[in-house]
Amino acid sequence: MPGPDKRCTEDEVVAELRSGMTIGIGGWASRRKPMSIIRAILRSDLTDLTVVAYGGPDVGLLCRSGQASKVISGFVSLDTIPLEPHYRAARQSGSIRAEELDEGMFLSGLQAAAWRLPFLPTRAGLGSDVPRVMPHITTVRSPYPDPDTGEHEELIAAPALRLDVALVHQHRADASGNAVWLGEDPYFDDIMVRAAERSFVSCEKVLPTAELGAGTDVTHHSISRMDVTGVVEAPGGAHFTECLPDYGRDEAFQRHYAGSARSDEAWAEFSERFVQVDEETYRAHVRELAAAAEEGDK
């Protein structure tokens, strides 16, 4: 028996969000980010968001728009541009609160939330300044002695990263929320959706369940419909981040985006053309930019 039809639009996802929420965003740096949903958030009046992510332009945009008040991250990068420029500006100006965790601590926090635990012990972060600059992160001593030394090891107690909502982008999904990513790397999206009270998946294509992952020569993995609240069919929805094997990162557009951090005027121009517009207009403007660049190269 098929599951319920959970298909919705980006704007319907945003209608389910509230100011002050803690929102987890899947993907990794400038890879497979749910950008069409992020753009819908940018068009909304949501504020005071805590954003939890292995961050990329999703984090930078929400910092620049003023909608993110706090960012919890393992890093915030554009991959080929090492440090996300709008996030860097927000950190330097103090316009956001930031918790910058070791990547392993971040993963342990997601896993703890997914398992509904208050924390998970980890060696990640030991010897770093994280406990010093974030004193709410403490250590625990193992109740079990080391079999060789008899000592009780001290470990970081990575606190659960509990999410009100998770937003992830996958390659394929069915109407009831079963979703697959193609290739080798889940970017921990499967853990993130379990760490959240509710989760929304955007995807390149909605297919019948039996066809998920069919017709590809790459490995596919899955997210269960039991962890998914809604499904958005969004072809190209990860643009301008990469969504391999469907498409690569739009490096030219990413450079244009990074340039919007040069000044308030540059941001205002970028925002007017690529942020404060609906998705159809956004894509038309992206094509216009690419065509102008191609013409300039001739």
Determine the average pLDDT of the residues in 185-214.
93
Tell the burial category of 153 from Cβ atoms under 10 Å away from its Cβ (0-12, 13-18, 19+): middle
Determine the average pLDDT of the residues in 241-259.
97
Q: Is there a contact between 144 and 178 (Cβ–Cβ < 8 Å)?
A: no
Determine the average pLDDT of the residues in 1-15.
92
Q: Is there a contact between 65 and 95 (Cβ–Cβ < 8 Å)?
A: no
Q: Looking at residue 210, what is its pLDDT? A: 86
For residue 63, the surrounding DSSP H or E stretch is helix 57-64
* Average pLDDT for the chain: 94
- Does the pLDDT at position 216 exceed 90? no
Instruction: For residue 281, count other CB atoms closer than 10 A to its CB.
Output: 12
For the stretch 103-137, pLDDT in tens is 999 999 999 999 999 999 999 999 999 989 999 99
Q: Is there a contact between 62 and 38 (Cβ–Cβ < 8 Å)?
A: yes
Q: How far apart are the first and last CA of the chain?
A: 57
Q: Looking at residue 218, what is its pLDDT? A: 55
Tell me the whole-structure pTM to 2 decimals.
0.95
Q: Looking at residue 1, what is its pLDDT? A: 59
Report residue 167 as tokens. 């937003």
Q: Looking at residue 3, what is its pLDDT? A: 81
Long-range CB pairs of 74-78, under 8 A, 24+ apart, other chains included: 74/100, 74/101, 74/102, 74/103, 74/105, 74/106, 74/107, 75/29, 75/100, 75/103, 76/29, 77/29, 77/30, 78/29, 78/30, 78/254, 78/258
Q: Looking at residue 222, what is its pLDDT? A: 85
- Does the pLDDT at position 297 exceed 80? no
Closest by CA position to 144, among listed 136, 135, 153: 153
For the stretch 143-165, pLDDT in tens is 999 999 999 999 999 999 999 99
Q: Which of 92-101, 223-232, 262-271, 287-296 has the lowest mean pLDDT?
A: 287-296
For the stretch 45-59, pLDDT in tens is 999 999 999 999 999
Determine the average pLDDT of the residues in 175-188.
91
